[in-house]
């Protein structure tokens, strides 16, 4: 865990807000023209999928904001935690 504050977190939040806003604008601008004539149930499925799709890169982005790397440290990748030394 880091001990010093970094600029990655505020910059990452700002980048996330800008990217999510741009994604929402693109979807709002182009999706109705492409799927507007489809049945309502099918449109709902598409909008749900598009609403969830932005979450896919979010884990790696949050790891980068916290650690500066795009992948989790080895201990967290395996699902375990770091070994503890209870004898200290």
Consecutive sets of 10 residues in the chain, 88 residues long: mean pLDDT of each? Answer: 80 94 94 94 95 88 86 67 52
Does a structural domain hold residue 12?
Answer: yes
Q: Are 69 and 50 in contact (CB under 8 A)?
A: no
Does a structural domain hold residue 2?
Answer: no
Q: Which pLDDT value is given to residue 18?
A: 96
The total of structural domains in the chain comes to 1
Q: Which pLDDT value is given to residue 31?
A: 92
Helices (H), 1-88: 8-35, 40-53, 58-67, 74-77
Does a structural domain hold residue 84?
Answer: no
Q: Which pLDDT value is given to residue 1?
A: 61
Does a structural domain hold residue 61?
Answer: yes
Q: Which pLDDT value is given to residue 30?
A: 94
Q: Which pLDDT value is given to residue 77?
A: 56
pTM of the model: 0.68
Does a structural domain hold residue 75?
Answer: no
Does a structural domain hold residue 13?
Answer: yes
Does a structural domain hold residue 82?
Answer: no
Does a structural domain hold residue 41?
Answer: yes
């Amino acid at each position: 865990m880091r001990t010093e504050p970094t600029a990655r977190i505020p910059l990452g939040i700002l980048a996330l807000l800008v990217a999510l806003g741009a994604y929402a604008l693109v979807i709002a601008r182009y999706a109705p023209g492409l799927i507007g004539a489809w049945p309502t149930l099918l449109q709902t499925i598409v909008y749900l999928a598009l609403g969830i799709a932005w979450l896919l890169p979010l884990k790696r982005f949050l790891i980068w904001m916290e650690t500066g790397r795009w992948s989790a440290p080895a201990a967290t990748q395996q699902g375990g935690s770091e070994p503890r030394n209870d004898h200290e």
